[in-house]
Amino acid sequence: MSIIKYDNQTNESEGANTVMQAGLSTIQNEAGKAVPNNATVVSDGVLNRVVLGYQKDGFGTGKNYGIKVSQDGYDVLTATNDQLVMSSAFNNLKIFQQGTVSLTRDASVAAGSGVSIDVPHSLGKVPMVIAYADSGGGARPLPVLLGSWTGGGSSYTYVLTRSLFANVSSSTVTFFYTAGFTGLTETWNIKYYILTSTTDN
């Protein structure tokens, strides 16, 4: 792959794709389109596809710096948001906190009750959480219904559920294991991701 680098007066050719680095003056690429000051623009040989750095109001009014990647067939310097693959101006989810905890339920836990473990976080609001639990048979996304049993008599019915789920608050994620019956010991390793949007921080 060849790359052409422009840095004011310097010009180094290494291939077919193009990287243009503009200094204090606006330059032109092969298509004759102006490259913004203080920006790096990557071309696919026909159209500008990536811009990194300055683009006046390119990331919102008064927001001139960031990164964009356009969809195939669109020039990143003139593309609308709908024509972009990504932009640093987009409100995307990111991982705020992640980790692994273990939740063990032993045979003495009564049917209908359960065990829990708390994971504190410092977001100060209720986040989105993605979690997977594994007891040796493969990871499963939470919530997990492991089984239920129905019983009762002529005038009532009850359902005992064995399940894994999470409760999320503005300061804590609590993972619960509910026991559907007694006499079972098992440990679940839970991998969790606490997410926040890019505009939150």
List the CATH number of the domain containing 127: 2.60.40
End position of a domain, from candidates 87, 122, 157: 87
Cα–Cα dist 100/175, whole Å: 11
Same-domain status, 111 and 64 = no
Q: What is the pLDDT of residues 149-195, one digit of tens each?
A: 555 555 555 455 678 899 999 999 999 988 766 677 888 899 999 99
Instruction: Give yes or no for a contact between 162 and 181, defined as CB atoms under 8 angstroms apart.
Output: yes
Q: Are residues 31 and 106 in the same domain?
A: no
Residues spanned by the domain of 48: 3-87
DSSP SS3 for 53: strand
Same domain, 24 and 72: yes
C-alpha Rg value of the chain to the nearest Å:
27
pTM score, two decimals? 0.62
* 62-83 pLDDT tens trace: 778 888 999 999 998 889 989 9
